[in-house]
Structure 1
């Protein structure tokens, strides 16, 4: 990381520890940084002739001159008022950043120090790459705070870069993430495309019409929108929306989908209903869509169906999915068989444990392309790369790096995907082999686990514990699925 960025991250993040002692969590701190940084940037750019997005009575100058209770009251007033700006078309980015905004810093002295910290820097004078790097650094530090739960929105950057490189994005394509978190996939796509030779029109299209993201969590949408803004993406109109991706077919189709849908079993929502006696009750509402192959409460299976829907014919997808999507019966089997038939499902990357902030996760990346309707299946063969067996990673001592994924990319062979060769970790399985497996199970492995053969060379205890937890959770999910299927059969 460049010196200006790392220095400023250190300065800004050191103050986070002070606020945490005062009861302000890291996630809340990054959120407050987002509000204040947007106010400061808007004021700086307006000072050099660009139109301000913020009314003068709510701008940075109106805030920075105050102190004590007056500062506290005015800051709360700014957040409330900017969150209400919905009529003006140019307020779209404001609405995204300040929607449901709240002040979490209740001590005026601490707020004054944070305002002073932001005010001491000339943010608009920093290069866009540096501003973006600073914010990405803050988001990563926030993700590292495992207790805060923010890690579920942060996919390892080496994995994201490898997925983007494998898809070989092209200028003029549209890229979508239906569970965008803080925007990591979209930024990686932007950086990849920015490195290609682009003419003026292609550069404008890249900044304003290429990248799109949705997330259901308002606070995360705010962080993603700010991340895009600091990288010069979207301009006045944020490419990030707050919505439930699974609620309905959005109608729009995209060339590329990159995603790591949130981990967890349930995607059902609950709605309040009234009974005859006037008492409120909670009713579970499962997503039922005409475009879905099967109705299920499995969140990742629903995201997989949604992604298939929003892809253009010929569109490409790379999706991070947990192991249960590969082997779960019932709706899982139905969806897998249809996906193999309707799409060209060509590559599966089995990921190692220890690379996500959510502990014990066993996940994979599924690569496929959507094809037109056909009586014969589009999947001819599935190539599986095993990056899991006999490989151990940890977030602190042995984190996943770009180098660890270089052999996968070489085997994937993005430039000539149909000229692949089998290796020890890369194997080919025909369509007939796949559909002949029990429940069309794609949980395929062939390498011997050396740890099971050599008890003197076991992985570290924390790795073993994490894998045991993952296996138990996978088994529990299986029992839940059986329970639900029995319940539906009785109902």
Structure 2
């Protein structure tokens, strides 16, 4: 990191800490930075050598903010946010439902002054990206904000992208893109591994990525995150839609889908009944391209991803354990996925790596295939990175290096040239294959397969540190509580 970069990062973080003491959360600070940096960059693009009209009226320009202080600044800023939220394109999406969360005009003026001193349009992409990604991670760590459910750990994203190996001039979709982490991971991989010509650079910037995010604040952060990483145009159409991806087949087909669908099994909506009481109703999506109708959110996303992949398209999807073992609709979806795609790899993830607790998850890799009378899946290779693995977010977070052995076993260069690390002679090997016939013979076609012995159960000396053990207990309890909630909702729904 250059001295200038360090100085800018330090300034941004210092303001963050001051605002935290004044009751402003990371998320609120991040939103205000988004509005203000966008305005400053729009002002820079309006001038030579760019001379671009971004669509911001003169009375709500960056210059109009700089000229005001105190109560006048507070009033003007609120009106500016409201007016720009009505604009079309990316401009309107960035400012959609925008509010001023910095109640102290003096502090707001200082932040404006800090941003004004830098040339953001000319600043290195890595610098802008580092500032913004750092704040996104801090926001995810703030458990009260709930932002963690929109943030996938970056080491996991990097490993998933390495395995998929996206190529230039191909399209990448994410139907629930959160803050845009998978797009940035793929962008970094492509720019690091290929020497791109002008056409390829233009395609990467404007046509490679497309996604959905229904939460307005999260979508804003994603759009700004991409923009600061030189993806998309400041005066272009947003590449992230605000529509629910599950409602209908969008008609678009992608070469790759990398995604982490939102946690929580059920899709539901809350409404007020005739007695004025709040009721929840399960949401089901009646789509002809789906194999089964279900209110299970993850099962619906799996079916949707299968639809939007091109033949030969690759998917890497983070999914909770229940998708691998539950019966009914879950069994139907697994069978159809094994038949219509080559579901070739599952990575079992450890607990303690997500900012939302109570999550036991896996990464499922599959390749879309054309119609066939015979099942496309021949073998499923499973890498168990859960048994006897202990991570916590603060003391022992998962790093990219922890997943390098999985990437080596996955063999991205040619995944058909793999070798098991498990054998009768080496029962502790983490990489093992199972045939299609073996899986189909399992109860409910369960893909929740494990074979390693839990050493902590066999040998008290191998127990993890107390804080790690406590974290795992919390994960298990919260996972159980979520399951009980779903059962109670089911019972209450049946009573009604």
TM range (shorter): over 0.9
Cross-structure match for 2:27 = 27
User: In 1, Cα distance between the equivalents of 2:227 and 2:457?
Assistant: 49
Question: How far has the Cα of 1:23 moved from its partner?
Answer: 2.5
User: In 1, Cα distance between the equivalents of 2:76 and 2:57?
Assistant: 14
Is residue 361 of structure 1 aligned with residue 359 of structure 2? yes
Is residue 132 of structure 1 aligned with residue 129 of structure 2? yes
Question: How far has the Cα of 1:5 moved from its partner?
Answer: 3.6
Q: 1:481 to 1:395 in 2, by over 3 A?
A: closer
Q: 1:14 to 1:309 in 2, by over 3 A?
A: same
The answer as to whether partners of 1:328 and 1:478 remain within 8 angstroms in 2 is no
The answer as to whether partners of 2:359 and 2:479 remain within 8 angstroms in 1 is no
Question: How far has the Cα of 1:329 moved from its partner?
Answer: 1.5
Question: How far has the Cα of 1:79 moved from its partner?
Answer: 0.5
User: In 2, Cα distance between the equivalents of 1:204 and 1:404?
Assistant: 34
Cross-structure match for 1:412 = 410
The answer as to whether partners of 2:358 and 2:477 remain within 8 angstroms in 1 is no
* Range 315-324 or range 355-364, more displaced: 355-364
The answer as to whether partners of 1:5 and 1:133 remain within 8 angstroms in 2 is no
* 1:311-351 deviations in Å (ceiling 9; x for gaps): 11111100011111111112111111111111110000011
**Which SS does the other structure have where 1:24 is aligned?**
coil
The answer as to whether partners of 2:268 and 2:280 remain within 8 angstroms in 1 is no
* 1:150-172 deviations in Å (ceiling 9; x for gaps): 22221111111111111111111
Cross-structure match for 1:237 = 237
The answer as to whether partners of 2:381 and 2:434 remain within 8 angstroms in 1 is yes
* 1:162-216 deviations in Å (ceiling 9; x for gaps): 1111111111110011111110100111111122122211111111100112111
Q: 1:81 to 1:386 in 2, by over 3 A?
A: same
Cross-structure match for 2:255 = 255
Q: 1:248 to 1:268 in 2, by over 3 A?
A: farther
Cross-structure match for 2:90 = 93
Cross-structure match for 1:89 = none
Cross-structure match for 1:320 = 318
Cross-structure match for 1:387 = 385
Query: What is the aligned counterpart of 2:208 among 202, 205, 210?
Result: 210
Q: 1:248 to 1:271 in 2, by over 3 A?
A: farther
The answer as to whether partners of 1:72 and 1:108 remain within 8 angstroms in 2 is yes
Query: What is the aligned counterpart of 1:426 among 421, 424, 431?
Result: 431
The answer as to whether partners of 1:96 and 1:241 remain within 8 angstroms in 2 is no
Q: 1:6 to 1:159 in 2, by over 3 A?
A: farther
The answer as to whether partners of 2:270 and 2:278 remain within 8 angstroms in 1 is no
Question: How far has the Cα of 1:416 moved from its partner?
Answer: 1.2
Q: 1:78 to 1:479 in 2, by over 3 A?
A: closer
Query: What is the aligned counterpart of 1:374 among 358, 364, 372?
Result: 372
Cross-structure match for 1:170 = 167
Cross-structure match for 2:62 = 60
CA RMSD of aligned residues (A): 2.2
Query: What is the aligned counterpart of 1:437 among 434, 442, 445?
Result: 442
User: In 2, Cα distance between the equivalents of 1:461 and 1:338?
Assistant: 43
The answer as to whether partners of 1:182 and 1:223 remain within 8 angstroms in 2 is yes
Cross-structure match for 2:340 = 342
Cross-structure match for 1:191 = 188
Cross-structure match for 2:456 = 451
**Which SS does the other structure have where 2:203 is aligned?**
helix
Cross-structure match for 2:78 = 76
The answer as to whether partners of 1:5 and 1:134 remain within 8 angstroms in 2 is no
Question: How far has the Cα of 1:474 moved from its partner?
Answer: 4.5
User: In 2, Cα distance between the equivalents of 1:28 and 1:22?
Assistant: 12
**Which SS does the other structure have where 1:417 is aligned?**
coil
Question: How far has the Cα of 1:122 moved from its partner?
Answer: 2.2
The answer as to whether partners of 2:41 and 2:120 remain within 8 angstroms in 1 is yes
* 1:213-255 deviations in Å (ceiling 9; x for gaps): 2111100000000011111111122212222122222221111
Q: 1:77 to 1:223 in 2, by over 3 A?
A: same
**Which SS does the other structure have where 2:342 is aligned?**
strand
Question: How far has the Cα of 1:81 moved from its partner?
Answer: 0.6
Q: Is there any run of 5+ residues in structure 2 with no aligned partner, and where?
A: 422-428
User: In 2, Cα distance between the equivalents of 1:302 and 1:469?
Assistant: 28
The aligned runs of 1:10-49 (5 Å cut-off) are 10-48=10-48, 49=50
Question: How far has the Cα of 1:288 moved from its partner?
Answer: 2.1
Cross-structure match for 2:154 = 157
Q: Is there any run of 5+ residues in structure 1 with no aligned partner, and where?
A: 87-91
User: In 2, Cα distance between the equivalents of 1:27 and 1:205?
Assistant: 32
**Which SS does the other structure have where 1:418 is aligned?**
coil
